[in-house]
A and B are shown apart, each in its own frame.
Chain A
Amino acid sequence: MTGRVQRLTAVTRPKIEFLFDGQPLSGQQGDTILTAILSNRGALRAAEFGPEQRAGFCLMGACQDCWVWREEGARLRACSTQLHAGLRLRSKAPDGWLS
């Protein structure tokens, strides 16, 4: 699947490159991590308690549905974290880490 979200302005802003699950992707300056990933993908991660995918739910930092991980291990809320160049993100906690 291509991106889930649709950009509603024609203005294109400077590209920002990042990695998600080892794949190089690009977002735009001003994007949150959620916007950037969902411009390229249909979901952020797999649900832990069911077969479905998750892509965030409330976008205001309350539901904790949009978790992604840095390769270094830190967990981020994709809806409220700004994208910056060179981020290396994962849809799962690094092996051996508590999620």
Chain B
Amino acid sequence: MTEALSTGVLIVGAGPAGIRAAQTCVAAGLHPIVVDEASQAGGQIYRRPASTASRSAKDRYGSEAGKALALHKCFDQMVSHGQVTHLSQSSVTAIAHQSAQVLTQDGIKVIGYENLILCTGAGDRLLPVPGWQSAGVFSLGAMQIALKTQEIALGRRLVLAGTGPLLTLVAAQLIRAGSEVAAVLDTALMRQQVKGAWAMARTRPIVTLRGAYLRAILGRRYQAGVRNLQITTNEAGPTQIGWQDHRGQDRRTACDGVGLGWHLMADTQLADLAGANFCWSPEWSQWLPASDPAGRLGNGVYLAGDGLRILGADAAECAGQIAATACLEDMGRACNPRKRVHRRYARMQRFASGLAQAFQVPQELISQLPSDTVICRCEGVELGDIQAAARRVGPEINRVKSQCRIGMGRCQGRYCQFAAGRILAEMGQVGPAKIGRLRAQPPLRPLPVSAALQSESVKDPQ
């Protein structure tokens, strides 16, 4: 049976933004429902290990251990005091008419809400690399999740490639944990990174230094300005990765596992279903929801954290408080906006701009792909298929999608849309904003037929 619930405030996501949003609501005397996909609150960056874990929090979260533990404790206390309802291992699959369809461990629930705070976070931004469809190639985020929660390395000899702060961080964490990391291949140019680091160091000098220290751990494994990545595979998986160094020399590194990621992409599908308008952000090279500075979308919907702007975990804690405070104000509940939080949030935004500048994604990475490169991992759609479709219907992503199924696979375009947009922009000789945006389509996660049938049987015909 579909169980109907209702709440004043529904929070989606229990990472740093969602936990602080919940805390702010609880402090104002509300009882929010928090839906999260993990079994325990924390989000991706502060993800908790299996109960059998043997490494310490310090090993797992490094310099951020204090923040991780504080967030976990904050949330666990709210749950144990009965101040929030936590639906763990649950996914919001659709939103309509002020209610959310939630796939839980016990079937589908429909939750009516007056206010919705979306703290959906971000996922790895992927670029296709020849051979990346093979077993043994993972996202960088996957490498980190495997290490944090399962204390495993996803291969015996790893190569990590891409760009962004996560590349250096995951590599350093794996090396410290005893994994063999053969090479760390960064496609960002060193001179671009130096420019960005200057802006970063002015706003958050300690965090920037910590990054430089992590980079030093990588030593000669780290290469900047890398081009022309190609994964060679056999039946079992990767055997080596070919790459071109910043001098243009062709190099090869043997490996049996590869982690890829080009910084992060905001997870905006629920915001889309909730009616957000989207603007192309040249700074972040992605479509982002348009909100006011506090995260208001209007109609009782609020956004916070990396799902709004990729500003990182510290900023997400601020954004969660700011969005929840805005929500409380709109509900007519008095609360004291804290200037300190706003100032801190503004500083994080300046830092993140430096970061975006440091870790840009060069167009060459797309231009130099062979036409048989798989762009959609889900359904094996190749670069040539996309180009042929675009020649027929023009470089608009939703039209091309209907022709060749790019973005229609079971990941719902998460891992192909960035590349597909760039491919079409290059073909059409137009800016990425002209290519259009893949629209989110419910259900956002595969729904078992059995769960859908249960829900059907009690659906109100009105």
Interface residues of A (CB under 8 A from B): 1, 4-9, 11, 13, 28-32, 35, 38-39, 42-44, 47-50, 52-65, 74-75, 79-80, 82, 98
Assess whether B136 is in contact with A42, with CB atoms less than 8 Å apart. yes
Q: Knowing A43-B237, A64-B411 touch, does A7 contact B151 (C-beta < 8 A)?
A: yes
Q: A11 contacts which chain B residues (CB < 8 A)?
A: 54
Q: Knowing A6-B155, A7-B151, A55-B237 touch, does A61 contact B37 (C-beta < 8 A)?
A: yes
Task: Pull 18 A–B residue pairs with CB atoms less than 8 Å apart, ordered by A.
Answer: A4-B155, A5-B146, A5-B152, A5-B154, A6-B152, A8-B151, A8-B153, A8-B178, A30-B52, A30-B53, A35-B150, A49-B378, A53-B237, A55-B237, A57-B139, A59-B145, A61-B37, A79-B142
Report the bound CA distance from A15 to B257 in whole Å.
26
For the A-B complex with A9-B55, A52-B133, A61-B445 known, give 20 more contacts whose Cβ atoms are closer than 8 Å: A6-B155, A6-B156, A8-B178, A30-B150, A35-B150, A42-B135, A42-B236, A47-B133, A50-B374, A57-B138, A58-B124, A58-B142, A58-B411, A59-B141, A59-B146, A60-B37, A60-B123, A62-B411, A63-B415, A65-B411
Q: Does B137 contact A (CB under 8 A)?
A: yes
Assess whether A60 is in contact with B142, with CB atoms less than 8 Å apart. yes
Instruction: Report whether over half of chain B's contact residues are helix, strand or loop; otherwise say mixed.
Output: loop
* Residue in B55, B177, B236, B449 with the greatest tally of chain A CB atoms within 10 Å: B236
Q: B54 contacts which chain A residues (CB < 8 A)?
A: 9, 11
User: B171-190 CB contact bits vs A (8 Å, 1 = yes)?
Assistant: 00000011100000000000
Report the bound CA distance from A61 to B153 in whole Å.
18
Report the bound CA distance from A4 to B138 in whole Å.
12
Number of A-B contacts (CB under 8 A): 138
Q: Knowing A1-B236, A59-B145 touch, does A8 contact B138 (C-beta < 8 A)?
A: no
Residue of A nearest to B381 (CB): A49
Report the bound CA distance from A83 to B409 in whole Å.
27
Output the least CB separation between B35 and chain A (Å): 13
Output the least CB separation between B307 and chain A (Å): 13
Taking CB atoms and an 8 Å cut-off, the chain B residues in 346-404 that contact chain A are 374, 377-380
Report the bound CA distance from A54 to B134 in whole Å.
6
Residue of B nearest to A51 (CB): B235
Assess whether A49 is in contact with B380, with CB atoms less than 8 Å apart. yes
Output the least CB separation between B137 and chain A (Å): 7
Q: A61 contacts which chain B residues (CB < 8 A)?
A: 37, 91, 445
Q: B89 contacts which chain A residues (CB < 8 A)?
A: 80
Output the least CB separation between B40 and chain A (Å): 12
Partner of A4 from the list B38, B136, B150 (CB cut-off 8 Å) is: B136
Q: Does B446 contact A (CB under 8 A)?
A: yes
Output the least CB separation between A45 and chain B (Å): 9
Q: A75 contacts which chain B residues (CB < 8 A)?
A: 448
Q: Does B101 contact A (CB under 8 A)?
A: no
Assess whether B145 is in contact with A53, with CB atoms less than 8 Å apart. no
Taking CB atoms and an 8 Å cut-off, the chain B residues in 399-433 that contact chain A are 410-411, 414-415
Report the bound CA distance from A50 to B130 in whole Å.
13
Output the least CB separation between B65 and chain A (Å): 18
Report the bound CA distance from A58 to B51 in whole Å.
22
Assess whether B123 is in contact with A53, with CB atoms less than 8 Å apart. no
Output the least CB separation between A25 and chain B (Å): 16
Partner of A64 from the list B178, B233, B378 (CB cut-off 8 Å) is: B378
Q: Does B83 contact A (CB under 8 A)?
A: no
Q: Knowing A13-B52, A42-B236, A57-B142 touch, does A62 contact B136 (C-beta < 8 A)?
A: no
